[in-house]
Structure 1
Amino acid sequence: MKRSKRLRPVQHLAERRRKEAEQQLGAAQQQLLAEQQKLVQLEQYLADYQQSLLQTGRDGVAIDQLQRLQSFKHRLLDALAQQRRQIEFCRQLLDRAKQTWHQASGRERAMESLIDRAAQQEARDEEKLLQKQIDELAQSRRSRPRVDG
């Protein structure tokens, strides 16, 4: 079996790994986008809550109620900090997914190149073999005595 044919399964494996890495990359991008959208929603909710808190403070409120409102605001701030950490984690996952995809894509291209070079070498070898056979045939015809008759 020719080398280029023997390498095909390896090339298919490289292609499959690249496609898997591509899917992981897409999933990581979507996850980051979703987490960023959650952050925007939390920030908007906090802004609305702070506006409401200011209005409640202007209208007058009992100390215990104000403490509960402030406590909830702090929980919102903690949730924002946690969401920012989640986004950073997703960015790291995305960076790793990009790196994995680049590596898999590079391996696939390298395998394709190797197969192309092997096929080209095989074609050259076949051409040489054919030329050798033609030369031998021509030589054998020249070396036979002619019979005119």
Structure 2
Amino acid sequence: MSNSRAARLAPVISMAERAEREAALQLGHCQGLLNQQEVKLGELEHYLADYQQQWLSEGRQGVSGQWLMNYQRFLSQLEIAITQQTQTVAWHRTNLNKMRELWQQRHARLEGLRKLVQRYLDEARKVEDKREQKLLDELAQRMTGHHSG
């Protein structure tokens, strides 16, 4: 009886396993995208630092008004790019956290279903053990009844 209860859960478990696996793959994908965007942000920040260093060395030698205007324009474009990239990284981080939560929910559901099946199987085994014990007891009684009679 309980064995069939466990068997009836098999398709539910296989669906839960598939859902959990999909979420795990998406989680890995999101982690990869976040890493790429963080690298991009790091490159932009490094570029900005280099550019500011160049300003310090060029500035000491004296610069033309044109060079200064170009520098400031480029610097502000670079800062805008860094701000946008920081927002992109934040978006990917939020997305990654959502995917992690989804995976955790699916993983917990799968574990819960597996425990339920295990409980059904344990119950079925206990019922079967009792049935066997009863049969053995009856057999033993019959045999001892035979010998004494």
TM-score bin, normalised by smaller chain? 0.7 to 0.9
Structure 1 residue 76 corresponds to structure 2 residue 54: no
The worse-fitting range, judged by mean Cα deviation, of 85-94 and 49-58 is: 49-58
- Aligned position for 1:52: 54
Question: What amino acid is aligned across from residue 34 of structure 1 in structure 2?
Answer: Q
Structure 2 residue runs without a partner (length 5+): 144-148
Normalising to structure 1: TM-score of the pair?
0.82
Question: What amino acid is aligned across from residue 27 of structure 1 in structure 2?
Answer: H
- Aligned position for 2:146: none
Q: How does 1:12-51 map to 2 (within 5 A)?
A: 12-51=14-53
- Once residues 10 and 41 of structure 1 are traced to their aligned partners in structure 2, the CA distance between those partners, rounded to angstroms, is 47
Question: What amino acid is aligned across from residue 89 of structure 2 in structure 1?
Answer: I
- Aligned position for 2:101: 99
The worse-fitting range, judged by mean Cα deviation, of 56-65 and 105-114 is: 56-65
The structure carrying a bigger helix percent of its residues is: 2
- Once residues 95 and 12 of structure 2 are traced to their aligned partners in structure 1, the CA distance between those partners, rounded to angstroms, is 27
- Aligned position for 1:2: 4
- Once residues 43 and 2 of structure 1 are traced to their aligned partners in structure 2, the CA distance between those partners, rounded to angstroms, is 61
- Percent identity of equivalent pairs: 39
**CA root-mean-square deviation:** 2.6
Question: What amino acid is aligned across from residue 50 of structure 1 in structure 2?
Answer: Q
- Once residues 104 and 130 of structure 1 are traced to their aligned partners in structure 2, the CA distance between those partners, rounded to angstroms, is 39
Normalising to structure 2: TM-score of the pair?
0.82
